[in-house]
Amino acid sequence: MKRIYTSVFIIIFVIALDVYSHHVMLKEKNRLDSYLTGIQQYAQSEDTESAILEAEKLIQVWEHSRKKLAFFVNNRNLDEISDSITKIKPLLRSDSDE
């Protein structure tokens, strides 16, 4: 009977962890998406300085978010996102990500 209780507990724990991780990822996605939308709006209105300031905020928020997501997401995926985010400022400054 102890094995059944232990198994049920493990299953409930895994499901709870899955729900929690999904919630964390959605929350961080929404936060990052709001910054990206702001950058896009500033860029479309040709307000480069405000877009660059928003990009700097995005980089800071991403560093915080990355620490949260590292437990749930593969590091390779996080590295790709980091590379993309760091290319935003040069792209805004000179219309080139180089």
pLDDT 10s digits, 5-45: 999 999 999 999 999 999 999 999 999 999 999 999 998 89
31: how many CB neighbours lie within 10 A of its CB? 15
Q: How far is CA 62 from CA 5, 25, 78, 94, in A?
A: 40, 12, 10, 22
CA–CA separation, 62 and 68 (whole Å):
10
Separation CA 44–CA 51 (nearest Å)? 10
- Regarding pTM above 0.85, the answer is no
Distance CA 71, CA 28 (A): 13
Q: What's the pLDDT score for residue 17?
A: 95
Q: What integer best gives the mean pLDDT of the chain?
A: 91
Q: Within 10 A of 27 (CB to CB), how many other CB atoms are there?
A: 12
